[in-house]
A and B are shown apart, each in its own frame.
Chain A
């Protein structure tokens, strides 16, 4: 699966399981947050990625 911000590009090149990210230069981070909050957000996104891996799909899907 792919975590990325530009989900339309991911779709056009053929990624199947796509999870929208937090930003182009920091897909799994947000420098404006405190370290603790940022890490919490990263964990949520990774959990969503894991959920995508366990979800059966038959076509390209943005989670």
Chain B
């Protein structure tokens, strides 16, 4: 007889039946067997899998120290030697979604087992964690618990059995895999063209990435009071590139001092970016980071002041996930240093 799979379920304080918002600061704890929505999952899993334990943590406790607490939760999960982790579903709840995503990611990394959660496409955690967890599309609220549980269980069992889950049964993870097709690319392309000419709508084999749209920031009302921050993806760094920012497929960004400088000095700054000829930028890095004229404008009072550092990375074959992360981290870094009166001038090669 096939052994039934061991499943651990992750829930927040509310679904874990500890309490409401007043209990959101509750630390991680473990209850044996299924709890709350776990009972619906138990029914759907039938004899194929058993929820052996439920790890519960308050959303604020998790959210305030996401990285560390999700690792701690993953250790609690590991103690029960599961074959599979289910988390949530979190529906449209941002905090709970972040918690489910972070715990899924930590467990997948530590234990190498499939991790499945469920969220509404509007949950901001989807974009952040879809590459690190299988996230089944779910409704916006717990009224859709039954549908979400069914979708998660179907996905989880397929993964646990090593099957390829159906496209659309989870948010695409942006991973590339080799597949073998009978017809060559040329034949398939011509076939698509013919279908198109006949008025059909051939399905694309390569959906374009779905870039996140951000609402425009409000305009600055008074430049003379504003701080201007410079940045680039043109690979300009101090000459020794102290953080070893990669010239292609960068995994990091840097923030470097401009203190006391009136221009980008080629003796101090260089450019290493694998996507364009760096000669002109190396000769005069102001061509990529316009510090010289920005200092003039600050001196003339056109702008209030200039930040004494700039942000940089090399935007060459950078993954969309990394680029999105850079943007988010840099924006947070700027926000932590300046309040509203800040203008950001970034350049791209």
By a beta-carbon cutoff of 8 Å, the part of chain A in contact with chain B is: 1-6, 10, 12-14, 16-17, 21, 24-29, 31, 38-39, 42-43, 45-47, 49-50, 53-61
Contacts and interface: CB of A to CB of B under 8 A. Distances in A.
A53 B343 CA distance: 7
Nearest to B275: A24
A25 B343 contact: no
A50 B283 CA distance: 25
Interface stretch (B33-41, B93-101, B249-257, B285-293): B285-293
Interface stretch (B53-61, B62-70, B116-124, B295-303): B295-303
A54 B220 CA distance: 5
Interface of B: 211-221, 223, 226, 228, 234, 276-281, 283-284, 286-288, 290, 292-294, 296-297, 302-303, 323, 343-349
A39 B277 CA distance: 21
A57 B215 CA distance: 10
Given A26-B287, A28-B286, A43-B297, A3 B347 contact: yes
Given A3-B345, A25-B281, A46 B287 contact: no
A59 B214 CA distance: 10
B219 A27 contact: no
A5 B277 CA distance: 15
A50 to B, nearest CB: 6
A31 B345 contact: no
20 contacts: A1-B344, A1-B346, A4-B349, A24-B349, A25-B276, A25-B280, A27-B288, A27-B348, A28-B347, A29-B288, A38-B287, A39-B286, A42-B293, A43-B296, A46-B293, A53-B219, A54-B221, A57-B219, A58-B216, A60-B216
A47 to B, nearest CB: 7
Contacts of A14: 211-214
A16 B286 CA distance: 24
Nearest to A23: B280
A45 B290 CA distance: 10
Nearest to B293: A43
Nearest to A53: B343
B214, B218, B280, B296 — most chain A CB neighbours (10 Å): B280
User: What 3 A-B pairs come out closest when comparing CB atoms?
Assistant: A29-B287, A4-B348, A16-B216
Contacts of A45: 290
Given A3-B347, A25-B281, A26-B288, 6 more contacts: A3-B346, A4-B349, A5-B348, A28-B286, A28-B290, A50-B228
Given A6-B348, A28-B286, A50-B302, A56 B219 contact: yes
B225 to A, nearest CB: 11
Given A25-B281, A27-B348, A28-B286, A50 B219 contact: no
A3 B216 contact: no
B219 A1 contact: no
A39 B293 contact: yes
A42 B345 contact: no
Nearest to B217: A16
Contacts of B287: 26-29, 31, 38, 42
Contacts of B343: 1, 50, 53
B218, B277, B303, B347 — most chain A CB neighbours (10 Å): B347
Contacts of B278: 25
A29 B234 CA distance: 13
A38 B280 CA distance: 12
B112 to A, nearest CB: 33
